[in-house]
Amino acid sequence: MTKMTAAEFQALIEDTLPLVAFFKLKVDSMGRGRCVLRLPYGSEHVRPGGTISGPAQMALADACMFGVVLSMIGRVELAVTTNLNINFLRKPAETDLVADGRIIKLGKRLAVCEVSVTSDADGELVAHVTGTYSIPPAKGER
């Protein structure tokens, strides 16, 4: 069972991550060890050449990994990114981007995640992302 619902995660990121408002990220779904986020297409995310900017794609993937981790451990706002690796595979279509994230390994202090970023219109994979999140110790732990 998931430790955080899609609605709870949407409220959390809207309240605590200022870039979510700029990028207009929306949670499509969450399950245990899974999160699907959407970056609505908008001209504010497009860079010269007509492609969605790398920083917009990275923000989408990073927020998705945050959701994956919290789906496993619950509301731990101080879980933070320690590593993010992104491979841009092709120019995204002029449509929403969808990030589908999953847990690879959950340990006591680290979580390793993988995210596939696809164009909503054609399902084409546009970026592949792996990352690691640091999980802070529970109260009383060192």
Q: What pLDDT was estimated at residue 48?
A: 87
Residue 63: both structure tokens together: 């927020």
CA–CA separation, 110 and 24 (whole Å): 28
Q: What pLDDT was estimated at residue 51?
A: 87
Position 142 pLDDT exceeds 70 = no
62-100 per-position pLDDT tens digit: 999 999 999 999 999 999 999 999 999 999 988 999 999
Residues of the chain with pLDDT > 70: what percent?
98
Question: Residue 100: beta bridge partners?
Answer: 36, 116
Q: E strands along 1-142, which residues? A: 26-31, 34-39, 46-47, 51-52, 80-88, 97-106, 110-119, 125-134
- Please name the residues in contact with 15: beta carbons below 8 A apart, sequence gap of 6 or more: none
User: Which domains are seen in the chain, by residue range?
Assistant: 6-134 (3.10.129.10)
Which among 32, 24, 127 is positioned nearest to 74, based on CA atoms? 32
Mean pLDDT within 138-142: 72
Q: What pLDDT was estimated at residue 1?
A: 81
23-35 per-position pLDDT tens digit: 999 999 999 999 9
DSSP character at residue 94: S
CA–CA separation, 24 and 97 (whole Å): 12
Q: What pLDDT was estimated at residue 136?
A: 95
